[in-house]
Amino acid sequence: MAVVRLSEEHVPEVTRVLCEAFYDYPVMRYVIGGGQADYGRRVSTLVHFFVMARVLRNEELLGTMDGKDLAATALVSYPGRGEAPAELMTLRDEVWDELGPESRSRYEAYSAACAPFDVALPPHIHLDMIGVSRAAQGTGLGRELIDHVHLMSREDTSSEGVTLTTEDPANVPLYEHFGYEVVGHARLSPELGTWGFFRPD
């Protein structure tokens, strides 16, 4: 299936697929906190914010379609290119009002832990999130999306590579296999560590 650029009309489907993929992901559990009766709703709120951040900043929603259904998706951003619009700042405040100050504090701690990963890197694009629907897992769509992001970077004269982070230790050798190099590692709690990666073009 071909990788296509999605638009704001696809936000509900992008959010759905990423919620499936990231429901039990370590960062979600860390930021939102486990054991809450409304955990699923809170995951959806946070993921929707991440998706809308790309829309409002005119960045990239990518996907592969299986007929009319979204099978896999990725969010791509352009660090350092432009200021966040006021509408995004308003949405951010609404999200944290809903999720609460403890979740906001944990997310800000996570963001601060990741910030040093980019300090010494050349201009690049960032693969924020990538997810495959349950029905399409194991079909190679994740790799197709990653390869497409690599191509985007090579074709972008303002980019010299791709960055990403992972909080799943099992992903570290996988991304190294794809040509990424570890550029930083931080631990936020005994249960949560994060790794920063860069893949030069």
CATH number at residue 34: 3.40.630.30
User: Which residues are paired to 82 by β-bridges?
Assistant: none
What is the number of domains present in the chain? 1
pTM as predicted: 0.94
Confidence of residue 200 (pLDDT cuts 50, 70, 90): very high
Confidence of residue 158 (pLDDT cuts 50, 70, 90): very high
For position 1, what pLDDT does the model report?
A: 75
Written as one letter, the residue type at 124 is: H
Structural domain boundaries, residue 137: 3-200
How large is the average pLDDT for residues 118-141? Answer: 92
Q: How far is CA 168 from CA 65, 171, 185, in A?
A: 27, 6, 12
Distance, CA of 166 to CA of 46 (rounded, Å) = 17
Strands 181-189 and 125-132: unpaired
Distance, CA of 162 to CA of 153 (rounded, Å) = 7
The string of pLDDT tens digits covering residues 86-119 is 999 999 999 999 999 999 999 999 999 999 999 8
